[in-house]
């Protein structure tokens, strides 16, 4: 049997993963159907197509076109578990959220939603920088151009699958190359600088993972182009820090306003007070509030 069967802690809702991953028709790094997620994963130097399917209290990982070694299977399992945050016990979050006016209805509606992230640090930082001060729709457009220009691809049947561009490839560029894709000048410089830091070995997820969240955040803030929002977003989505809190996030403020039904968005001080109630789970609270903004795709 070439498949993998992954245990998942309850609560877990595979359909909620599908809804989240289907948010944009511009998404180019995975393909979703009503029942499955397909993604091209770069395992070592080899792009391998994986398909994720729900099977009772498990996820079945299928390799539709590749023979994979046991070592590659182990890498794929780690990637999937990291991507979908499958190793976290959500019981304390649900217990806390059940008593919270904002979170209780969201947890009831989307029970089992996981904080889906970016296992790759370069992808997480690049996506966060692309998204600074532009609409989500335009951010997806820019990301698609970036991936289709510099990512690796495999054509299988009539479907093209892509991996996120490798840092070492982007490190060789000059800013004008990204300006052609509608990055502004500063974002072009930031992304290339980060690619060069990663390629040189000065910046890596492995090195940072051994540090405290506070130290990781300080290291991220030392990177040109990374402010508080970007650092907290990357802590949430790459390092799966459940307590990371992008407190100034526009979507978070919109979601709180929507949940409360108020005519105005909350102030930063009001958001801070909510965060105090969510201590230790600010990232998950934010993720569930974001979920309220896009309905059932």
Average pLDDT, the chain: 96
Query: Does the structure show a pLDDT above 70 at 1?
Result: no
Beta carbons within 10 angstroms of residue 199's beta carbon = 17
The pLDDT score that the predictor gives to residue 58 is: 94
The answer to whether residue 297 scores a pLDDT higher than 60 is no
- CA angle (195, 198, 201) in 5-degree steps: 150
CA distance 76 to 66: 13
Q: Which of 287, 296, 289, 283 is nearest to 241 (CA)?
A: 283
pLDDT at 255: 96
Let me know: does 11 contact 88? Beta carbons within 8 Å. no
Q: Inform me whether the pLDDT recorded for 71 exceeds 70.
A: yes
| Cβ atoms within 10 Å, residue 1 | 4
**Of residues 284, 30, 293, the one with CA closest to residue 143:** 30
The β-bridge partners of 161 are 154
Length of the chain: 297
CATH number listed for the domain at residues 121-237:
1.10.340.30
Q: Please report where in the chains the tokens 């299977």 appear, as a residue.
A: 73
Report pLDDT digits (tens) over 128-138. Answer: 999 999 999 99
- pLDDT recorded at residue 2: 83
**Residue 144: its pLDDT value, please?**
98
Contacts with 113 (C-beta within 8 Å, 6 or more apart), sequence order? 13, 16, 17, 20, 287, 288, 291
SS3 200: helix
Residue 56: pLDDT band with limits 50, 70, 90: confident
**Over the range 158-184, which residues count as b (16 or more CB within 10 Å of their CB) and which as e?**
eeebbbbbbbeebbebebeebeebebe
The answer to whether the beta carbons of residues 168 and 199 sit under 8 Å apart is yes
Q: What is the pLDDT of residues 33-54, one digit of tens each?
A: 999 999 999 999 999 999 999 9
Q: What is the dihedral of CA 243, 245, 251, 256, to 10 degrees?
A: 80
Q: How far apart are CA 164 and CA 41, in angstroms?
A: 9
Helix (H) or strand (E) holding 113: none
Q: Is residue 296 pLDDT above 70, yes or no?
A: no
Is residue 11 predicted with pLDDT exceeding 70? yes
Domain 4-87: give its CATH architecture.
2-Layer Sandwich (3.30)
47 phi, psi to nearest 5 deg: -80, 120
| pLDDT for res 48 | 97
Q: From residue 15, give the alpha-carbon distance in Å to each of 87, 107, 228, 275.
A: 18, 15, 32, 28
Which residues in the chain are classed under CATH 3.30.310.20? 4-87
- H helix runs in the chain, sequence order: 14-21, 70-83, 91-97, 103-109, 121-130, 136-150, 167-170, 175-179, 185-200, 205-209, 213-221, 228-237, 250-260, 268-277, 282-291
The set of catalytic residues is: 249
Place 77 in a pLDDT band, splitting at 50, 70 and 90.
very high
pLDDT in tens, 199-246: 999 999 999 999 999 999 999 999 999 999 999 999 999 999 999 999
Radius of gyration, CA atoms only, the chain: 19
Please, where in the chain does CATH 1.10.340.30 lie? 121-237
Q: What does the pLDDT read at residue 57?
A: 86
């Amino acid at each position: 049997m070439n498949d993998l069967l992954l245990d998942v802690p309850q609560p877990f809702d595979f359909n909620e993963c599908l809804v989240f991953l289907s948010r944009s028709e511009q998404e180019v790094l995975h393909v979703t159907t009503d029942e499955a997620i397909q993604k091209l994963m770069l395992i070592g130097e080899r792009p391998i197509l994986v398909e994720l399917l729900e099977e009772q209290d498990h996820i079945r990982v299928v390799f539709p076109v590749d023979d994979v070694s046991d070592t590659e299977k182990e890498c794929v399992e780690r990637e999937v578990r990291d991507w979908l945050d499958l190793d976290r016990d959500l019981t304390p979050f649900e217990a806390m959220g059940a008593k919270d006016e904002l979170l209780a209805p969201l947890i009831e509606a989307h029970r089992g939603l996981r904080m889906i992230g970016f296992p790759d640090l370069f992808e997480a930082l690049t996506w966060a920088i692309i998204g600074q001060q532009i609409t989500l729709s335009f951010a997806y457009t820019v990301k698609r151009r970036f991936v289709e220009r510099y990512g690796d691809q495999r054509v299988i049947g009539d479907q093209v699958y892509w991996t996120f561009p490798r840092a070492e490839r982007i490190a060789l560029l000059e800013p004008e190359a990204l300006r052609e894709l509608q990055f502004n000048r500063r974002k072009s410089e930031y992304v290339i600088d980060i690619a060069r830091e990663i390629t040189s070995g000065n910046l890596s997820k492995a090195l940072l993972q051994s540090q405290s969240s506070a130290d990781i955040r300080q290291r991220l803030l030392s990177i040109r182009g990374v402010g508080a929002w970007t650092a907290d977003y990357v802590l949430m989505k790459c390092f799966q820090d459940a307590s990371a809190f992008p407190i100034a996030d526009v979507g978070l403020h919109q979601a709180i306003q929507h949940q409360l039904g108020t005519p105005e968005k909350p102030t930063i001080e009001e958001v801070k007070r909510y965060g105090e109630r969510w201590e230790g789970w600010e990232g998950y609270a934010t993720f569930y509030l974001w979920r309220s903004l896009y309905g059932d795709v």
